[in-house]
């Protein structure tokens, strides 16, 4: 556990954020390896199928994550205030609520898979394998929720290392199973989905076992497994907007994916490859954002507002440093990065599309790094509707400009559309940050 209400903000933030960054890198490396294995051992159609199914499953996974993020802020506040009985009660109600929702989503997602593919205008030649892949991955939603809920509990008390270890183990397990079943035994893309579900179940089991044995402070007691209407309203007030915010992103990306689908299988494959790099650039930056949120929420709970702005500024410095690293790597290695994902006759064209996209995104990745930092501030302050509104603005403009630019200048237009969305988000959030600081009487020290 890590109490962030005393000591150096920068020290707390980087120590907390580092396991999250490593965890994201491990998970994203697995996702990339999964696509590399699919593209090289099964073919471009399998790579395209995974790319199409990705935004759909991200809609489910990010909604789950959003609910857990909101509940995690409540638990961080309770930990900062030393209200330990409330910790278990929040986690218990979150598990009950999320478990019921995930069960329904799983059933509806499997049933609606054909309709989803029609709406997305998936090419006929890959519709069948994409549908099978999608149905299997929906089965993993409950396991994903349990892991994320328990990880949110551990992170709320300052333990970001343990969730990283479980995530790393499941990602390595998933990659090994893919290499065996796809690479050596030659099974199809549906097997890739099945190994993912199995690894998610393992991570949920590991997190449950660890919490029961090592962190009894967080374990809901017998009387805390009952729905509390007042507490559920608070969880929904924090987690509901965050879940909607997280869901908004993949909904917009579904619109973007539909535009990509109209450009043909080669462009679909290229876009799937470069979005893996997008994930490396943007998702780990959310780990720093999570550190900022936890730090601010703990200090709010402890009634130490004078520590909030110094902590936020330290977090922004970490975000900028991360961009310098990822932007440089992307610019210098954009061709080798895309080359990892393809082989055969279509490789040259896919690499050409992908490297042009990444050339621009290496610069543009600064924008999501900064917006993630500001979002972390607002979440920590409990202003979930602000983060939701900013994300809605960003993804709406990004999708709208993709519709305009992609048919005209291809995949590069999607990069410019992304930059427009992120820039507008900054213009919305930064002035409101200063307004919030003034209203809450936060010291500028």
Distances (CA, A) of 106 to 81, 109, 137, 227, 327: 37, 5, 9, 22, 37
- Extents of the domains making up the chain: 9-439
Strands (DSSP E) found in 69-180: none
Mean pLDDT of 32-40: 64
Quote the pLDDT of residue 394.
92
Mean pLDDT for the chain overall: 82
What's the rounded mean pLDDT across residues 302-307? 87
The SS3 of residue 6 is coil
Average pLDDT, integer, range 22-35: 71
Lowest average pLDDT, out of 116-130, 156-170, 204-218, goes to 116-130
**pLDDT of 444 above 60:** no
Q: What is the mean pLDDT of residues 370-390?
A: 91
Length of the chain: 445
Q: Is 74:228 a contact under the CB 8 Å cutoff?
A: no
Output the pLDDT for position 36.
66
pLDDT at 339: 84
Residue 401 pLDDT class (50, 70, 90 cuts): very high
Q: Check pLDDT > 70 for residue 60.
A: yes
Residue range 101-114: average pLDDT? 83
Render pLDDT for 224-263 as a digit per residue (tens, 0 to 9). Answer: 778 778 888 888 888 888 777 777 776 777 788 778 877 7
Question: Which of 58, 25, 109, 31 minimizes the C-alpha distance to 246?
Answer: 58
If you average pLDDT over residues 45-69, what whole number do you get?
Answer: 72
Whether the per-residue pLDDT at 58 is higher than 80: the answer is no
- The yes-or-no verdict on residue 158 having pLDDT over 60 is yes
Position 41 pLDDT exceeds 60: no
**pTM (2 decimals)?**
0.76
* Buried/exposed 387-423: b ≥16 CB within 10 Å, e otherwise: bbbbbbbbbbbbbebbeebbeeebbbbbbbbbbbbbe
pLDDT at 194 over 90: no
């Amino acid at each position: 556990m890590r109490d962030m209400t005393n000591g150096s903000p920068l020290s707390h933030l980087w120590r907390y954020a580092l396991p999250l960054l490593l965890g994201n890198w491990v998970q994203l490396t697995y996702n990339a390896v999964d696509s590399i294995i699919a593209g090289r051992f099964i073919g471009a159609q399998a790579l395209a199928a995974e790319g199409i199914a990705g935004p759909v499953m991200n809609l489910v996974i990010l909604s789950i994550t959003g609910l857990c993020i909101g509940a995690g802020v409540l638990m961080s506040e309770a930990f900062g205030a030393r209200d330990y009985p409330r910790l278990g009660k929040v986690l218990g109600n979150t598990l009950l609520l999320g478990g019921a929702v995930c069960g329904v989503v799983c059933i509806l997602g499997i049933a609606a898979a054909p309709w989803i593919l029609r709406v997305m205008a998936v090419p006929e030649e890959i519709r069948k394998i994409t549908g099978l892949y999608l149905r299997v991955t929906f089965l993993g939603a409950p396991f994903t929720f349990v892991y994320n809920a328990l990880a949110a509990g551990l992170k709320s008390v300052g333990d970001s290392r343990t969730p990283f270890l479980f995530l790393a183990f499941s990602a390595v397990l998933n990659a090994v199973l893919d290499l065996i079943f796809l690479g050596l035994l030659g099974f199809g893309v549906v097997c890739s989905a099945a190994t993912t579900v199995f690894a998610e179940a393992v991570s949920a089991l590991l997190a449950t076992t660890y919490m029961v044995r090592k962190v009894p402070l967080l374990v809901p007691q017998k009387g805390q497994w009952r729905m509390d209407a007042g507490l559920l309203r608070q969880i929904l007030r924090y987690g509901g907007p965050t879940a909607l915010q997280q869901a908004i992103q993949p909904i917009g990306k579904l619109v973007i994916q539909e535009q990509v689908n109209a450009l043909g299988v080669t462009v679909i494959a290229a876009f799937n490859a470069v979005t893996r790099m997008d994930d490396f650039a943007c998702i780990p930056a959310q780990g720093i954002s999570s550190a900022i949120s936890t730090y601010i929420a703990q200090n709010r709970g402890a009634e130490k507002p004078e520590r909030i702005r110094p902590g936020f500024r330290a977090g922004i410095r970490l975000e900028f440093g991360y961009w310098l690293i990822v932007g440089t790597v992307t610019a210098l290695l954009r061709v080798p990065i895309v080359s990892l994902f393809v082989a055969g006759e279509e490789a040259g064209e896919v690499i050409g599309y992908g490297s042009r996209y990444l050339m621009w995104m290496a610069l543009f990745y600064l924008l999501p790094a900064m917006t993630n930092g500001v979002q972390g501030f607002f979440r920590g302050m409990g202003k979930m509707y602000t983060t939701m509104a900013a994300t809605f603005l960003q993804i709406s403009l990004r999708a709208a400009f993709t519709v305009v630019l992609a048919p005209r200048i291809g995949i590069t237009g999607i990069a410019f559309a992304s930059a427009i969305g992120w820039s507008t988000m900054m213009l919305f959030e930064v002035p409101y940050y200063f307004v919030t600081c003034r209203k809450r009487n936060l010291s500028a020290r």
